[in-house]
């Protein structure tokens, strides 16, 4: 099996393109076949080096490699011109106002064999003779794709459904050249949760944006694989090895798939929790560009769904309490301040200063004051973190250490 991913370099690699790349790659890797990367760079204006690099970078991050390429479609122009000439010579194509058109028979039909959609029939009466070269001689898209697929001996063309209407034209070009077309598979469209075609408005639209939003490669690959494919009704989590083993086109659906960033978040959170502590720390340190985060990562790992969720939750450990005047007003005024003084006195005597002993001493304060736990814990939390949302209060105190905890509590008492 030889497959190809043939992106046009128009900017960042979008989720739909990434899914197409992934499905091709899974087919190649699962079958011991060959994956070609062909950059469709015939549009000179958009095919900048920067845009090509965006594609390479995104594939690299996803872990999608290729056996051949990146090929440049524009680099094949001499060959395209040769084929155009050949089609004119053989009478399959003719000149029309300087351009070249392929003759489409008036009768009959072209049947596209599609592994997802079954046979799709295109009646010739509905297809006009079409242009394969402009009047300046330059080859057009359908011609270039058909010739490149032929020359690379592509056996399976797997691409988005939006290309289905091009397919009979590409098949006709191949037929005119005396070759059987490859097998096709057109992948279902992607929609947002609102049922509309996927676009920027539905959140992160490109691989780079997902990466920068703190999603990890394993979760993104797993989630992309499920956009139109499923193994059975039960399994949601697939390792990359499992995907290469299990992925087949006959389990790809015809109907539009829904990209729902909330589901990706949930899945990403599950992947993060599953990582060994050192690995999660390493990834968060790489993501945030900070070091020495192990202790804070341990405390936050149950609460984060993306790498980006970590810092807002943990910054207070390193950069001091966040400034949240509402939280201070609510928990550090009047009685809150008095209870904080009690908590401070208790914490000053806790020995050793560990999660368990801290918890015991603060619960004693709660009992002694006849208060609700929250009435003591929240003032402490606001004093050390500045906010009402933080990892576990006892663990956080231990991580900060006695001196720092008491200093922050003192500052809060003074400020209140
Ligand atoms: N270059 C086309 C695109 O980026 C894909 C062409 C193909 O897969 O045949 O949409």
The residue whose CA has the least distance to atom 6 of ligand 1 is 6
Q: Which alpha helices (DSSP H) does 38-166 contain, by range?
A: 49-62, 77-89, 141-151
What is the 27 CA–ligand 1 centroid distance (Å)? 18
CB count within 10 Å of CB 175 equals: 15
**Ligand 1 atom with least separation from CA of 7:** 4
Predicted confidence (pLDDT) per residue in 361-382, tens digit: 999 999 999 999 999 999 999 9
Say if residue 81's pLDDT is above 90: yes
Above 90 in pLDDT, residue 52? yes
Q: How far apart are CA 81 and CA 79, in angstroms?
A: 5
Indicate the helix (H) or strand (E) that contains 18: helix 15-31
Condensed to tens digits (0 to 9), the pLDDT of residues 397-406 reads 999 999 999 9
Residues in contact with ligand 1 by the CB-under-6-Å rule are 6-8, 40, 145, 159, 163
At 146, the pLDDT band (50, 70, 90 cuts) reads very high
Give the rounded distance of the alpha carbon of 292 from its chain centre: 28
Q: SS3 for 101?
A: strand
Q: How far is ligand 1, taken at its centre, from the CA of residue 264, in Å?
A: 26
191 and 37 Cβ atoms separated by less than 8 Å: no
- Of 2, 8, 76, 164, the one to substitute when testing ligand 1's pocket (max ligand atoms within 8 A of C-beta) is 8
Beta strands 109-114; 118-123: pairing state: antiparallel
pLDDT of residue 387: 93
Q: What is the DSSP string of 287-336?
A: HHT----HHHHHHHTTT-SSHHHHHHHHHHHHH-----HHHHHHHHSTHH
In angstroms, rounded to a whole number, what is the distance separating the alpha carbons of residues 274 and 3?
A: 33
Sign of the alpha-carbon torsion through 35, 185, 17, 310: negative
Length of the chain: 416
What ligand 1 atom has the least distance to the C-alpha of 145? 9
**Residue 97 has which token pair?**
């106002």
Strand 2-5 versus strand 34-39 pairing type: parallel
Question: What percent of the chain has pLDDT above 90?
Answer: 92
Cα–Cα distance between 131 and 139 in angstroms, integer? Answer: 9
Q: Give the SS3 label for residue 182.
A: coil
User: 128 C-alpha to center of ligand 1: Å?
Assistant: 22
Using the mean position of ligand 1's atoms as its centre, give its distance from the Cα of residue 311 in Å.
39
Which of 163, 173, 185 to probe ligand 1 with, by most ligand atoms within 8 A of CB?
163
Phi, psi of 92 (to 5 degrees): -80, -20
- Spatial distance between the Cα atoms of 126 and 172, rounded to a whole number of angstroms: 14
Distance CA 179, CA 52 (A): 31
CA distances from residue 128 to 3, 102, 107, 131, 268 in whole angstroms, order as listed: 29, 9, 11, 9, 48
Percent of the chain with pLDDT over 70: 100
CA separation for the pair 196, 200 (Å, rounded): 11
Ligand 1 atom index nearest CA of 149? 9
Q: Is the pLDDT confidence value at 200 over 80?
A: no
DSSP-derived pairing of the beta strands 99-102 and 130-133? antiparallel
Mean pLDDT of 349-360: 97
103 three-state secondary structure: coil
pLDDT tens-digit readout, 128-139: 999 999 999 999
CA nearest ligand 1 atom 7, residue: 6
Contacts of 109 (CB under 8 A, 6+ apart): 121, 122, 123, 124
pLDDT score of 333 more than 90: no
Residues 322, 386 contacting (CB under 8 angstroms): yes
Degrees to nearest 5, angle at CA 378 with 375 and 381: 150
Best of 159, 161, 173, 183 for a ligand 1 pocket test (most atoms within 8 Å of beta carbon): 159
Q: What is the mean pLDDT of residues 79-93?
A: 98
Smallest CA-to-CA distance from 224 within 382, 371, 2, 25 is with 25
Catalytic residue from among 200, 254, 326, 372: 200
- Residue 201: its pLDDT value, please? 78
For 252-293, write each residue's pLDDT tens digit: 999 999 999 999 999 999 999 999 999 999 999 999 999 999
106 Cα–ligand 1 center, Å: 28
| Residue 398 CA to ligand 1 centre (angstroms) | 56
Is 200 part of the annotated catalytic residue set? yes
| Structure token digits, residue 92 | 């399959």
Per residue in 7-51, pLDDT tens? 999 889 999 999 999 999 999 999 999 999 999 998 888 889 999
């Amino acid at each position: 099996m030889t497959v190809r991913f043939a992106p046009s370099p128009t900017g960042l690699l979008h989720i739909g393109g990434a899914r197409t790349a992934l499905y091709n790659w899974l087919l190649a890797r699962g079958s011991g076949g060959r994956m070609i990367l062909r950059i469709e760079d015939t549009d000179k204006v958009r095919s900048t080096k920067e845009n090509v690099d965006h594609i390479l970078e995104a594939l690299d991050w996803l872990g999608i490699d290729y056996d051949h390429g990146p090929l440049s479609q524009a680099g094949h122009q001499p060959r395209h011109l040769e084929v155009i000439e050949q089609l004119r010579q053989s009478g399959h194509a003719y000149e029309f106002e300087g351009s070249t058109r392929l003759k489409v028979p008036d009768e009959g039909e072209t049947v596209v064999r599609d592994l997802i959609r079954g046979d799709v029939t295109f009646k010739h009466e509905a297809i006009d003779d079409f242009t394969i070269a402009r009047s300046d001689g330059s080859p057009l898209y359908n011609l270039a794709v058909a010739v490149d697929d032929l020359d690379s001996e592509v056996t399976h063309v797997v691409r988005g459904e939006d290309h289905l209407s091009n397919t009979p034209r590409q098949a006709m070009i191949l037929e005119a050249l005396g070759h059987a077309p490859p097998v096709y598979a057109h992948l279902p469209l992607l929609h947002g949760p609102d049922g509309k075609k996927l676009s920027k408005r539905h959140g992160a639209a490109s691989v780079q944006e997902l990466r920068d939003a703190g999603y990890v490669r394993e979760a993104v690959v797993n989630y992309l694989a499920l956009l139109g494919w499923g193994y059975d009704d039960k399994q949601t989590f697939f390792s990359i090895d499992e995907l290469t083993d299990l992925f087949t086109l006959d389990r790809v659906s015809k109907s539009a798939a829904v990209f729902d960033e909330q589901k990706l978040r949930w899945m990403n959170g599950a992947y993060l929790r599953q990582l060994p502590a050192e690995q999660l720390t390493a990834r968060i340190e790489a993501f945030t560009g900070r070091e020495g985060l192990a202790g804070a990562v341990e405390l936050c790992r149950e609460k984060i769904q993306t790498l980006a969720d970590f810092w807002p939750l943990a910054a207070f450990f390193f950069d001091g309490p966040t400034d949240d005047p509402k939280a201070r007003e609510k928990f550090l005024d009047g009685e809150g301040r008095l209870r904080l003084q009690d908590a401070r006195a208790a914490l000053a005597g806790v020995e050793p200063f560990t999660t368990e002993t801290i918890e015991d001493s603060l619960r004693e304060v709660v009992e002694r004051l006849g208060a609700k736990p929250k009435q003591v814990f929240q003032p402490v939390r606001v004093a050390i973190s500045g906010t009402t949302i933080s990892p576990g209060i006892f663990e956080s105190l231990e991580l900060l250490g006695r001196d720092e905890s008491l200093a922050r509590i003192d500052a809060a008492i003074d400020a209140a």
